Structure 1
Amino acid sequence: MSVNDLFDKSDNIELNDSVDIEDESTDQVAVAPKREMESPEFQALVQELSSTMGVEGITYAPNEVIVKLNPSIASTNQINALQTSLDAKVKESTQTMGIQLWEIQGMSVAEAIALYGDDPAIEYIEPNYIGSINTTTPNDPEYNRLWGLNNTGQTGGTPDADIDAPEAWDIETGNNVVVGVIDTGVDYNHPDLNDNMWTNPGEIAGNGIDDDNNGYVDDVYGWDFANDDNDPFDDNSHGTHVAGTIAAEGNNGIGVTGVSWSADIMALKFLGSSGSGSYFDAIQAIEYATMMGADLTNNSWRGYSFSQGLRDAIAMAGNAGQLFVAASGNENNNNDTRPAYPASYNLDNIISVASTDDDDRRSGFSNFGSTSVDLGAPGSSVYSTIPGGGYGFKSGTSMATPHVAGVASLVWSDDPTLTAQQVKDRILATVDPISDLQGITVSGGRLNAYSALTGSTPPPVVPVIFDDFDPDVDNSQWSNITK
Structure 2
Amino acid sequence: MACLLIASGMSARGQESTPVQLMVQLHPGHAPERLLQDFPELDSISTVFTPFHIWRLHSTVVEGSAEMLLSQLQQHPAVAIAQIDHEVQLREFFPDDPFFNLQWNFYNDGSTGGVEDADVDMELAWDISTGGWTVDGDTIVVAVVDDGFFLGHNDLRYRKNWDEIPGNGLDDDNNGYIDDYDGWNSDEDSDNIPLSPHGTFITGIIGAKGDNFLGIAGMNWYMEVLPVSIGIGPIFESNVVEAYGYIWTERKLYNDTDGAEGSFIVATNASFGVDFAMPDDFPLWCAMYDSLGQQGIINVGATANTNINVDVAGDMPTTCPSDFLIAVNNLNKNDNKSNSAYGIENIDMGAPGALVYSTDIDNTYSYKSGTSFAAPHVAGAVALMLSSACEGFIDDYREDPGAAALLLREFLFESVDPVEDLDTITVTGGRLNVYQAMLTLENYCSALDIPDGNATEFIAVYPNPATTHITIGPLPAQTKYFYSLADVLGRPVISGTLTQPTQSTGSISLETVPAGLYLLQISNPVGQLVWTEKIIVEQ
TM-score grouping bracket, smaller chain normalisation: 0.5 to 0.7
CA deviations over 1:139-172 (Å, ceiling 9, x no partner): 1111111110001223211111111100110111
Which of 211, 218, 225 is 1:258 aligned to? 218
1:134: how far off?
8.9
Which of 143, 153, 156 is 1:180 aligned to? 143
1:437: how far off?
0.3
Do the aligned partners of 1:147 and 1:154 also contact (CA within 8 Å) in 2? no
1:338: how far off?
1.9
Q: Does 1:312 align with 2:296?
A: no
Equivalent position of 2:182 in the other structure: 221
Equivalent position of 1:122 in the other structure: none
Question: Could you tell me which amino acid in structure 2 is paired with residue 327 of structure 1?
Answer: A
Q: Provide the aligned length of Structure 1 versus Structure 2.
A: 335
Distance in 2 (alpha carbons) for counterparts of 1:366 and 1:381: 14
1:206: how far off?
3.0
Q: Matched residues, percent identical?
A: 35
Q: Does 1:404 align with 2:393?
A: no
Secondary structure at the aligned position of 1:295 is classed as strand
Cα gap change, 1:439 to 1:221, in 2 (>3 Å): same
Equivalent position of 2:432 in the other structure: 447
Distance in 1 (alpha carbons) for counterparts of 2:380 and 2:116: 21
Equivalent position of 2:107 in the other structure: 150
Do the aligned partners of 1:225 and 1:270 also contact (CA within 8 Å) in 2? yes
Question: Could you tell me which amino acid in structure 1 is paired with residue 236 of structure 2?
Answer: S
- The within-5 A match list for 1:34-45 is none
Equivalent position of 2:30 in the other structure: none
Do the aligned partners of 1:296 and 1:323 also contact (CA within 8 Å) in 2? yes
CA deviations over 1:168-215 (Å, ceiling 9, x no partner): 10111111311000001221210011xx21111421223332101222
Equivalent position of 1:383 in the other structure: 357
CA deviations over 1:342-361 (Å, ceiling 9, x no partner): 12111110111011010011
Cα gap change, 1:133 to 1:92, in 2 (>3 Å): farther
Equivalent position of 1:268 in the other structure: 228
Equivalent position of 2:407 in the other structure: 422
Segment drifting more, 133-142 vs 403-412 = 133-142
More strand by share: 2
CA RMSD of aligned residues (A): 2.4
Do the aligned partners of 1:358 and 1:378 also contact (CA within 8 Å) in 2? yes
Question: Could you tell me which amino acid in structure 2 is paired with residue 396 of structure 1?
Answer: G
Secondary structure at the aligned position of 1:337 is classed as helix
1:216: how far off?
1.7
Distance in 1 (alpha carbons) for counterparts of 2:362 and 2:225: 17
Secondary structure at the aligned position of 1:325 is classed as strand
Runs of 4+ in structure 1 over 4 Å off: 91-98, 131-135, 459-463
Equivalent position of 1:242 in the other structure: 202
Q: Does 1:160 align with 2:117?
A: yes
Structure possessing the higher relative contact order (Cα contacts under 8 Å, 6 or more residues apart)? 1
Q: Does 1:297 align with 2:272?
A: no
Distance in 1 (alpha carbons) for counterparts of 2:176 and 2:65: 66
Distance in 2 (alpha carbons) for counterparts of 1:172 and 1:263: 12
Cα gap change, 1:153 to 1:202, in 2 (>3 Å): same
1:92: how far off?
12
Question: What TM-score, normalized by structure 1, do the two folds share?
Answer: 0.66
Gaps of 5+ in 1: 1-90, 99-130, 464-483
CA deviations over 1:73-92 (Å, ceiling 9, x no partner): xxxxxxxxxxxxxxxxxx99
Question: Could you tell me which amino acid in structure 1 is paired with residue 388 of structure 2?
Answer: D
Distance in 2 (alpha carbons) for counterparts of 1:94 and 1:249: 44
- The within-5 A match list for 1:70-85 is none
Q: Does 1:200 align with 2:161?
A: yes
Cα gap change, 1:227 to 1:132, in 2 (>3 Å): farther
Do the aligned partners of 2:150 and 2:196 also contact (CA within 8 Å) in 1? no
CA deviations over 1:327-375 (Å, ceiling 9, x no partner): 1111211111122111211111011101101001111x11100010000
Question: Could you tell me which amino acid in structure 2 is paired with residue 281 of structure 1?
Answer: N
Secondary structure at the aligned position of 1:287 is classed as helix
Question: Could you tell me which amino acid in structure 1 is paired with residue 303 of structure 2?
Answer: S
Equivalent position of 1:342 in the other structure: 317
Distance in 1 (alpha carbons) for counterparts of 2:315 and 2:231: 17
